[in-house]
Amino acid sequence: MIFKRAVAKLRAQDWTAIAIELVIVTVGVLIALAAQQWAEDRSWNDKVEATRTALRFELAEHYDYAVEYRVIYPCLQAQIYRLRDRVLASGSTLDPAPLYSEEDGSHYVFRMPGKNYPTDAWEAAVSDGTIRSFDPALRRQLAGHYTQLPEMAAMLAEVEANEPAFVALAHRLPLDPAVRYSIIKDIERVRGRFEYLDMVHGQLIENIEKAGMLPTPENAERVTKRYGTYRFCKAHGLPMRSFKDAMQAVPN
């Protein structure tokens, strides 16, 4: 009897209405899932674009620094050559080099730029995974660019670490052959570092160019002219590279 009553109830159901309700519920679930996926995709795409913008700004800063270095490179070499020639031309006592001062109280016998290349945008892109959404070729180009920065930073730090020691050249040092050789050796090492860094900065420009994130050259020129080393070189009539030549990329 119980079975017969159950069968009777099932037969009494409006299967068309049930089917329609089932379709409506299914479609509703699918629409909700699609909307959620669309929202997630849009949020991710916005995050990827934000990463691209951050990298563009970061690379623009790298470009400005690279152009500055390439412009003032002849000035750096001229300063080093003057120190070397002074040491070589001095007799048993060093003819003191001019000592320059800054408003912050620092002193130096040669002026060079001191810049820290930011990598925050790149590190964030790698950390949050947004870099994986970039074109593979662009990823490789950016990875190569950022791989060069630590070596360059280490070399700049080495030169900067030696800079205070050169202040001693502003004093009347006794020069025996051993001391003269030691000073010339240090000067030549710094000169070689400057030469290598000039090439690397040109390669950084090529990296940014190939990444399609090259900023406007007018801004780099405007920024460079505000930097202390550029103003120092110009004030002392030291040679500098033209901005047009400085902005030429150097092949890696």
**pLDDT tens for residues 63-74?**
999 999 999 999
Is residue 46 in some structural domain? Answer: no
Domain count, the chain: 1
pLDDT at res. 15: 57
Range of the domain at 153: 56-246
> Which residues partner with 107 through β-bridges?
101
Report pTM: 0.83
Residue 49 lies in a domain: no
The answer to whether position 73 is within a domain reads yes
* Residue found by looking up tokens 């899932």 in the block: 33
Convert the pLDDT of each residue in 195-214 to its tens digit: 999 999 999 999 999 999 99
Q: Is residue 8 part of a domain?
A: no
Asked if residue 109 is part of any domain, the answer here is: yes
In a domain, 152, yes or no: yes
Among 63, 87, 220, smallest CA distance to 166 is for 87
Annotate 45-58 with b (16+ C-beta within 10 A) or e (fewer): eeebeebbebbbeb
Q: What is the mean pLDDT of the chain?
A: 88
Determine, yes or no, domain membership for 101: yes
> Would you say residue 11 lies in a domain?
no
Quick: pLDDT tens for 134-189.
999 999 999 999 999 998 889 888 888 887 788 999 999 999 999 999 999 999 99
